[in-house]
A and B are shown apart, each in its own frame.
Chain A
Amino acid sequence: DIQMTQSPSSLSASVGDRVTITCQASQDISNYLNWYQQKPGKAPKLLIYDASILKTGVPSRFSGSESGTDFTFTISSLQPEDIATYYCQQYDKLPVTFGGGTKVEIK
């Protein structure tokens, strides 16, 4: 199975800060990488697909990029409503696998 190593597991930042989460794949997955947001007690929501494409309706402060097997998710200016756990997910090979998640909190 492809392992997705996500870091950090948690972070605390101030409103307006730039937040960066990374996800490293254990092998080449091309750009077959998605990012999800999960708020407490809620189902996940797809934010970014194919590594860097913002789903329609998602605020532009969210972005994604890739460099080889390393993927980056960025919130350019953290807002209070962004408090959530974020997951990366690869779909290059079955089984589909998720990263361990990054819990984002407000400082």
Chain B
Amino acid sequence: QLVESGGGLVQPGGSLRLSCAASGFTFSTYAMNWVRQAPGRGLEWVSAISGSGKTTYYTDSVKARFTVSKDKSKNTLYLQMDSLRAEDTAVYYCAKDTIGSYPCSFDYWGQGTLVTVSS
């Protein structure tokens, strides 16, 4: 099970940290991903972190602004989002991967948390 939290309304240029609490599988075995969906739009992969936590991946539009991390002791995935822009407005999903090293196939998803960037 994956449960996201931390979404909300934030002003442009602001920051927000999303959390995703995981249960029911060995958290350190699988890569974890963040995928977002702007209102009425399609899916966009944002970021991933390997099972070990040693390797992170980002789409170009969020590099240097977003940071993915995980706390294995708490089985929790995080996405620190800084310098937020209006175009970051979306529902953010965390998704478990089927392998441990690299973004691949997303077999379990959370319910999503809405981030709205607006003044």
Q: Which residues of A contact B (CB under 8 A)?
A: 32, 34, 36, 38, 43-46, 49-50, 55, 87, 89, 91, 94-101
For residue A97, which residue of chain B has the nearest CB?
A: B45
Q: Shortest distance in angstroms between B45's beta carbon and chain A's nearest beta carbon?
A: 4
Q: A98 to B110, Cβ gap below 8 A?
A: no
Q: B111 to A43, Cβ gap below 8 A?
A: yes
Q: Which residues of B contact A (CB under 8 A)?
A: 33, 35, 42-45, 48, 57, 59-60, 93, 98, 102-107, 109-112
Q: B93 to A96, Cβ gap below 8 A?
A: no
Q: B60 to A43, Cβ gap below 8 A?
A: no
Q: B93 to A98, Cβ gap below 8 A?
A: no
Q: A98 to B45, Cβ gap below 8 A?
A: yes
Partner of A46 from the list B48, B57, B106, B110 (CB cut-off 8 Å) is: B106
Q: A91 to B104, Cβ gap below 8 A?
A: yes
Complex CA gap A6/B57 in Å reads 25
- A interface SS class: loop
Complex CA gap A94/B101 in Å reads 13
Complex CA gap A92/B81 in Å reads 27
Complex CA gap A38/B43 in Å reads 10
For residue A48, which residue of chain B has the nearest CB?
A: B105
Q: Given A43-B112, A49-B98, is A98 in contact with B43 using a C-beta cutoff of 8 Å? A: yes
Partner of A94 from the list B42, B103, B106, B111 (CB cut-off 8 Å) is: B103
Which residues of chain A come closer than 8 Å to B112, judged between CB atoms? Answer: 43
Q: A95 to B42, Cβ gap below 8 A?
A: no
Which residues of chain A come closer than 8 Å to B33, judged between CB atoms? Answer: 96
For residue B33, which residue of chain A has the nearest CB?
A: A96
Q: A91 to B103, Cβ gap below 8 A?
A: yes
Which residues of chain A come closer than 8 Å to B60, judged between CB atoms? Answer: 95
